[in-house]
């Protein structure tokens, strides 16, 4: 039977939701937060407040981190490294695949093992049946604590590489934030014409349902098939130019449609005028290789 004890470090909205989910299932939960008062309500519910990070680490083998990023992890765990030995750190903080791998090495050097987690839900989704989290890291550590982790969400194990869960999460976030920002930008344009977000909602929902397009184009992309039998890059370029003019006429910031137009025009300059807009996937990949415009940030110093 799985040990029904766990430590949670970090009591923002997500961390508090996690603690409440564990308490609801009868777990003994030790908590720690820089601002101790954030634990007050949880303590009243039955959680145990640790006075120090060392005490929080010492309390249980499984330690769940719910922090802003991995820099916060180093800041919190750095002074308490002697208490890390033998611990499994379920790091559910958001960061890059590279940072996840570096953190796993840092923890291993101090006798701990990291399970990287990429949560696919907001705090309100914790403990609900349809929620999910990507995990990667040591398979035996994952299996030993799967039952506890599944109190929070379903657990989608990606493999031993500690960077895989972070990669899957960031891929998803790349799509999510791009979609959401484009919606906000569109609402801004609509409002200049007296159309509210609620009035536009039916159209937004219909437009956002692109499943049929993804299902059609994904196999073609994998096959390197960018023939222009269904759409052409030149058609898309003309369409986004019309969007840009409409946005400019509304007096709304043009940065977003201008960036999309730039991508289409770079594809055309690359000789892809009569290819599908999916050929932009090759343009995006080539950009990084040629000019390093999305070069990785310098590695951050570790304590």
Domain boundary assignment for the chain: 5-160, 168-291
**Looking at residue 300, what is its pLDDT?**
53
Q: Is the pTM of this model over 0.75?
A: yes
Residue 1's pLDDT band (boundaries 50, 70, 90)? very low
Judged against a pLDDT cut of 70, whether residue 297 lies above it is answered with: no
Share of the chain above pLDDT 90, in %: 92
Cα 246 to Cα 235, 261, 264: the distances in Å are 17, 13, 18
| Rounded distance between C-alpha atoms, residue 80 and residue 91, angstroms | 16
Judged against a pLDDT cut of 80, whether residue 2 lies above it is answered with: no
Judged against a pLDDT cut of 80, whether residue 295 lies above it is answered with: no
| Stretch (H or E) spanning 155 | strand 154-157
Find the DSSP H helices in the chain. 13-24, 40-45, 53-59, 70-77, 97-108, 139-149, 163-192, 197-208, 211-222, 233-249, 255-269, 280-291
| Rounded distance between C-alpha atoms, residue 163 and residue 265, angstroms | 34
Judged against a pLDDT cut of 60, whether residue 292 lies above it is answered with: no
**Looking at residue 166, what is its pLDDT?**
96
**Looking at residue 287, what is its pLDDT?**
65
Share of the chain above pLDDT 70, in %: 94
Asked if residues 56 and 77 have their Cβ atoms less than 8 Å apart, the reply is no
**Looking at residue 73, what is its pLDDT?**
96
**Looking at residue 129, what is its pLDDT?**
80
The arithmetic mean of pLDDT across residues 12-26, rounded, is: 97
**Looking at residue 175, what is its pLDDT?**
96
Out of 63-67, 191-195, 205-209, 296-300, pick the least confident: 296-300
The domain 168-291: what is its CATH number?
A: 1.10.1040.10
Mean pLDDT of the chain: 94
pLDDT digits (tens, 9 = 90+) for 227-270: 999 999 999 999 999 999 999 999 999 999 999 999 999 999 99
Residue 3's pLDDT band (boundaries 50, 70, 90)? confident
The arithmetic mean of pLDDT across residues 267-274, rounded, is: 96
| Token pair listed for 165 | 């869960």
- Looking at CATH, the fold of the domain delimited by 5-160 is given as Rossmann fold (3.40.50)
| Stretch (H or E) spanning 41 | helix 40-45
């Amino acid at each position: 039977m799985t040990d029904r004890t766990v430590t949670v470090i970090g009591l923002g909205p997500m961390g508090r939701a996690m603690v409440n989910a564990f308490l609801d299932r009868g777990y003994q939960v030790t908590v720690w937060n820089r601002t101790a008062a954030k634990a007050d309500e949880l303590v009243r519910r039955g959680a145990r407040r640790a006075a120090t990070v060392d005490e929080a680490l010492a309390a249980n083998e499984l330690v769940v981190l719910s922090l802003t990023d991995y820099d916060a992890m180093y800041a919190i765990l750095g002074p308490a490294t002697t208490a890390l030995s033998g611990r499994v750190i379920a790091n559910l903080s958001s960061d890059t695949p590279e940072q996840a791998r570096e953190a796993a090495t840092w923890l291993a050097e101090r006798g701990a093992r990291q399970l990287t987690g990429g949560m696919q839900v907001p705090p309100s989704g914790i403990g609900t049946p349809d929620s999910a989290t990507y995990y990667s890291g040591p398979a035996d550590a994952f299996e030993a604590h799967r039952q506890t982790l599944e109190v929070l969400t379903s657990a989608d194990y990606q493999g031993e590489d500690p960077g895989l869960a972070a990669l899957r999460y960031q891929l998803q976030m790349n799509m999510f934030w791009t979609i959401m920002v484009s919606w906000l930008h569109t609402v801004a344009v609509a409002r200049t014409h007296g159309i509210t977000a609620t009035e536009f909602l039916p159209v937004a929902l219909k437009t956002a349902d692109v499943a049929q397009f993804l299902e059609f184009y994904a196999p073609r992309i994998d096959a390197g098939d960018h023939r222009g039998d269904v759409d052409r890059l030149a058609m898309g370029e003309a369409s986004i130019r019309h969007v840009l003019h409409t946005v400019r006429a509304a007096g709304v910031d043009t940065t977003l449609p201008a960036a999309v137009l730039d991508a289409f025009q770079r594809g055309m300059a690359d000789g892809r005028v009569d290819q599908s807009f999916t050929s932009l996937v090759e343009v995006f990949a080539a950009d990084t290789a040629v000019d390093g415009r999305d070069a990785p940030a310098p590695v951050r110093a570790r304590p």
